[in-house]
């Protein structure tokens, strides 16, 4: 913002730079995991969802399209009163999430080496790999 007095132009330039940077990380020859703060957002069609918090609305909406997987960490209290953590892997009308592999359940319980377990499930390989 310090380089221009036009705030809309500054956000547009920031969005372009961030999109390029995200794509560069995504295209590295290894698996990439990024995390971000979650906030309630309004999509261009008026839908209100929880999704990634980014400095521009357009970048916020585009974040899931950059990646094959986009999860929402959900914290619930089970019937026994214990707190559990689950990764939501697809949209359900309240949270923005996506699973391009099609192999994950809507909710994957967070336990053990979670990201390794999810990777193995997507690639259909055993737990020991």
SS3 20: helix
SS3 54: coil
User: Which pLDDT score is estimated for 112?
Assistant: 67
102-108: long-range contacts, CB 8 A cutoff, minimum separation 24: 104/69, 107/74, 108/71
User: Which pLDDT score is estimated for 63?
Assistant: 85
- The verdict on pTM exceeding 0.95 is no
- Give, for all 129 residues of the chain, the pLDDT tens digit: 567 777 778 888 888 999 999 999 999 999 888 888 999 988 778 889 898 888 877 888 888 889 999 999 999 999 999 999 999 999 888 998 999 999 999 999 888 667 888 888 999 887 655
């Amino acid at each position: 913002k310090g380089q221009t007095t036009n705030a809309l132009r500054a956000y547009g330039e920031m969005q372009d730079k961030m999109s390029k940077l995200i794509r560069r990380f995504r295209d590295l020859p290894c698996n990439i995991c990024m995390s971000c703060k979650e906030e309630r957002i309004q999509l261009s069609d008026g839908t209100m969802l929880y999704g990634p918090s980014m400095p521009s609305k357009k970048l916020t909406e585009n974040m899931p399209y950059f990646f094959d997987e986009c999860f929402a960490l959900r914290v619930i209290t089970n019937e026994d009163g214990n707190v559990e953590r689950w990764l939501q892997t697809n949209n359900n009308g309240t949270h923005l999430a996506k699973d391009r592999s099609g192999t994950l359940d809507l909710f994957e319980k967070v336990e053990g080496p979670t990201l390794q377990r999810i990777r193995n499930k997507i690639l259909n390989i055993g737990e020991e790999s």
